[in-house]
């Protein structure tokens, strides 16, 4: 198998990509806080170039506030808000947008340096260009989402919010996957583990896919505020299966628009993934793996338990900002661990089998 890590500058490029992924992780967290504090509609204009400069004087703040007052969120939700109160919600959305521009700078400048100094190995440049293109499209998608709330109903579309979140996670995962490949270190594996790894690889990739779908499910919960509907656990109200599921016409529309169905589906995802991840981890650890794969599997278990605790706490505490934001961050962290384990099993380089009889 070709080992891309032999290229002399791959480690530098991988660390740069890991930095980019870390900033995207932070931006996903900040996006969650922006949503939870109802700050996302405070900036009613999109100025990709000059929008990085916030209001600086009292006159500029007043002018910006007057623009906000022309839109339904102020008129229907925040009527009577002071300029000082407006500043607090404005800054969350402002920082979210600035961080998006910062990611572009952090990516583009090192990319140009690596490219013109010929430090990028053959075949990697197209992948990096795809990352940059996806980042630009994500910015457009973010504004498309905000526009959906600048209408009579001052709430962003749950479809667009979920698409925006999903796109961020896809970009994050793609960058990490490429970085993991650049950091891979070849090591010998036993033939028996190589056979087992094929089975584990399919299991791990399935878990990563299901975790991504659950993150999308969380986007629907956030976009419809379904988390407030049943602040109880393990029951939803008085029963495990609440009344009114799929109570729409057509029934499948409830998956995306009915808050009872949306929260129920999110819980079912959690139950299924809890069982599957523990089953996967038990099988992998029982096989006697060592090294990075074993460490990654332990991280997967730990993050799973933390995420379950955060999810239940978010429900029972009626979606407090700090706990709910931590729950969103926990989902991305758990997804990251699943990607790492999947990559270990995909290249067979970062793990080895230790027979119990050895």
Domain residue spans in the chain? Answer: 1-186, 189-358
Please report which confidence band the pLDDT of residue 19 belongs to, taking 50, 70 and 90 as the band edges.
very high
Q: Return the closest-CA partner of residue 69 out of 38, 105, 41.
A: 41
Confidence of residue 348 (pLDDT cuts 50, 70, 90): low
Under the banding of pLDDT at 50, 70 and 90, the label for residue 353 is very low
pLDDT tens figures, 48-93: 777 788 899 999 999 999 999 999 999 999 999 999 999 999 999 9
Which has the higher per-residue pLDDT, 50 or 358? 50
Characterize the bridge pairing of strands 351-353 and 289-290.
Answer: antiparallel
Per-position DSSP letters for 50-88, written without gaps between them: GGGSPP-SHHHHHHHHHHHHTSHIIIIISTT--HHHHHH
pLDDT for the residue 6: 62
Mean residue pLDDT across the chain: 90
**Within 10 Å of residue 46's Cβ, how many Cβ atoms?**
14
Is the whole-model pTM more than 0.85? yes
Is the model's pLDDT at 323 over the cut of 80? yes
pLDDT value at residue 212: 98
347 forms beta bridges with: none
> 197-217 in b/e burial notation, b at 16+ Cβ within 10 A?
beebbebbbebbebbbebbbb
Banded pLDDT at 193 (limits 50, 70, 90): low
């Amino acid at each position: 198998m070709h080992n891309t890590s032999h290229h002399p500058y791959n480690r530098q490029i991988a660390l740069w990509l890991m930095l980019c992924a870390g900033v995207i992780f932070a931006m996903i967290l900040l996006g969650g806080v922006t949503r939870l504090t109802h700050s996302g509609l405070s900036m009613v204009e999109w100025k990709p170039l000059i929008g990085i400069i916030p209001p600086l004087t009292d006159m500029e703040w007043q002018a910006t506030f007057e623009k906000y007052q022309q839109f339904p969120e102020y008129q229907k939700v925040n009527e009577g808000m002071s300029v000082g109160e407006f500043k607090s919600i404005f800054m969350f959305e402002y920082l979210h947008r600035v961080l998006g521009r910062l990611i572009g700078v952090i990516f583009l400048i090192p990319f140009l340096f690596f490219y013109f100094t010929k430090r990028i190995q053959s075949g990697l440049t197209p992948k990096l260009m795809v990352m940059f293109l996806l980042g630009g499209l994500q910015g457009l998608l973010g504004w498309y989402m905000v526009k959906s709330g600048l209408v009579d109903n001052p709430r962003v579309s749950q479809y667009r919010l979920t698409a925006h979140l999903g796109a961020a996670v896809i970009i994050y995962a793609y960058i990490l996957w490429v970085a993991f490949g650049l950091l891979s270190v070849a090591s010998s594996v036993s033939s028996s583990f190589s056979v087992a790894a094929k089975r584990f690889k399919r299991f791990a990739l399935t878990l990563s896919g299901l975790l991504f779908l659950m993150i999308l499910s969380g986007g629907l919960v956030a976009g419809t505020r379904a988390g407030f509907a049943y602040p109880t656990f393990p029951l939803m109200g008085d029963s495990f299966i609440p009344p009114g599921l799929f109570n729409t016409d057509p029934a499948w529309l409830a998956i995306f628009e009915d808050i009872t169905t949306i929260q129920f589906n999110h819980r079912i995802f959690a139950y299924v993934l809890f069982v599957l991840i523990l089953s996967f981890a038990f099988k992998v650890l029982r096989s006697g793996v060592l090294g990075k794969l074993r460490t990654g599997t332990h991280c997967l278990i730990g993050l799973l338990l933390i995420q379950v605790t955060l999810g239940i706490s978010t429900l029972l505490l009626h979606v407090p900002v700090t706990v709910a934001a931590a729950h969103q961050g926990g989902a991305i962290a758990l997804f990251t661990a699943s990607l790492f384990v999947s990559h270990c099993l995909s290249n067979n380089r970062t793990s080895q089998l230790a027979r119990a009889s050895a």
